[in-house]
Amino acid sequence: MTGTILLITLFTLVVLLLAGVPIPFAFFSATLVIVFFGGIGDDPGSLLRYGYTKATSIILCAIPLFILAGSLMEKGGIGESLVNLVSMFVGRIKGGLGAVMVISCGLFGAISGSGMATLSCIGSIMLPRMYAAGYPKGISSALISSASLLGLLIPPSLNMILYAFVGGQSVLACFLATVLPGVILIICLSLTNMFLLRKNKDIKLEDKMPTPVYFKTLGTRSVRAIPALISPIIILGGIYSGIMTPTEAAAVSVVYSIPVGWFIYKGLRGKTFKESLLYSGTTAGVIMIMLFSVMILSNLYVRANVPSIILNGMTSITQNPVVLLIIVNLFLIVIGMIMDDTSAILLTTPLLLPIVTNPALGVNPVHFAAIMGVNLGLGCVTPPCAPFLYLGSRVGGAPINEMLGPTMWFIAFAWIPTLILTTYIPDLALLIPRSLGFVA
C-alpha cells in the first residue's frame, strides 16, 4: 500500500465518521478503498472469513453478558443503595454530593463494567438530588459525564476485554492495570469539583445527624448495600482466584443480578427486565458488527506495514521516548474525539501496540492498556464528538454551552494529570498486576 492510499483511506474514514455515517459502514468503506486501490491482493472472501473468525472468539461472549448484567443492575435499583451509603461519608462537605456521585460511579462501574449504564443509573439518581441542593446544572452534568467513564476503567471493563483480545494480553492483567489510574481520577474529579464550587453560596448542606442516629443510619444503609457490594467481590474474586474465566464470571453476574434486582431492591419487573434484554441485545449486536468491520480494516493496516510507517515517521521527528509518548497520547486523544471508545480501541490497538513495545519506547503492553484506557476516556468527553458529554447533557437537562467550561476544568485538572501520571509512572499500571503475578 502506498502512502497516498493510506492517507486516502484515513481521510475517507474521518470524513465519513464526522458526517455521521454509521461506524461499521465507515470502516467498510475505508476497507474497500484499500482492497480495490491498495494493491494488497486479498479477495473479499478471505477478508470476510478473517472478520468472522475474530468476531466468533469465545472470550467475546463476556461482552454481551456484562452488558446484560450492567443493564439489569441499572434497572434493578442497585445504584440507589450505593449512593445512599457513600453519602454518609462525604455528603455534608461543600461539593460533597459531587464526590458522592464520582465515588458511586466508580463502585457501579466495578459492578457493571459499562460507562453508559453508569451514567444513566447514577446520573438519574444523583442529579435531581444535586439540583435540589443548589448545585449548578452545568457543573453537575459535566461531572457525571466524566465520572461515568470510570465504568470503562474500574474492572471489569469491556474495553480492557477488547484490548486484551486484540493485543493478545491477559484479560486479568489488563483489568488490574486501570485500577490505580481510576482511583487517581476519582480523587482529581472530586477535588476539581469542590474547587469549582468553593464560592457558591447557593449550595445547601444536609443537616447534621446526632451521633446515635448517624451510626444507626450508617448501619441500615450498609446492610442495604451489601448485596450490591457483594457483586464485584463475586465477579472479580472468582476471576482472580482462578475459579472462573471472565466469560463465566460475566454469566454469573447476570444470574446474580436478576434475583437481587427483583426480590431485594425490587426495581426489576417484567417491563424493566424486557427493556434490559432488548437494550443488551441491540448494544451487543452493534458492538459485534463494529468489531467485525474494524478488525478487517485493522488487519489490512497491519499487513500493509502501517505500524512501521507510523513509527518511522515518529522517530524521524525525535528519538526522545518522552516526546514519542506525547505524540502517541495526542494521536489517541484525537482518535477518541472522532469515534467511540470501542471502535477506537479495536482500530488503534493493532496499530500502536507494536510501536509502543518497540525498543525505542519500551512500554509494557499491560502498561499501555492503562494508557489507552485513560486516553479513550478523555476522548469521550473532549469536543467535537464527545459522546458522553452529549449523553450527560441529555440525562442532566443542561445545555452543552453551560457544560463546556466545567468540562475543560475537569479535563485540565483531572483527566490530563491522570494521563500524565499513568503514562510516565509505569508502576501505577503494573504494581497490582505484578504483585499478583500477572506481569513479570
Task: State residue 26's pLDDT score.
Answer: 82
Task: State residue 373's pLDDT score.
Answer: 92
- Output the DSSP codes for 235-274: HHHHHHTTSS-HHHHHHHHHHHHHHIIIIIS----HHHHH
Name the pLDDT band for 216 (thresholds 50, 70, 90): very high
| Residue 60 DSSP class | G
Least confident of 263-267, 374-378, 436-440: 436-440
Does residue 168 carry a pLDDT above 60? yes
* Helical packing angle, 179-196 and 365-379, nearest 10°: 30
Cβ-based burial of 193 (10 A; exposed 0-12, middle 13-18, buried ≥19): buried
Domain ranges for the chain, please list them.
1-41, 58-435
Task: State residue 38's pLDDT score.
Answer: 63
pLDDT in tens, 31-42: 888 777 766 555
C-alpha cell recorded at residue 352: 500502536
C-alpha cell recorded at residue 329: 497520547
Q: What average pLDDT does the chain have?
A: 85
Report the chain's terminal Cα–Cα distance, integer Å: 37
Task: State residue 306's pLDDT score.
Answer: 76
pLDDT in tens, 132-141: 889 999 999 9
**Interval 117-138 mean pLDDT:** 87
- Helix or strand holding residue 294 (H, E): helix 270-303
Does residue 109 carry a pLDDT above 70? yes
Task: State residue 40's pLDDT score.
Answer: 57
For residue 21, give the 3-state DSSP assignment. Answer: coil
Does residue 2 carry a pLDDT above 60? no
Q: Which amino acid is at 136?
A: P
Torsion angle defined by CA atoms of residues 21, 402, 88 and 213, in that order, rounded to the nearest 10 degrees? -130
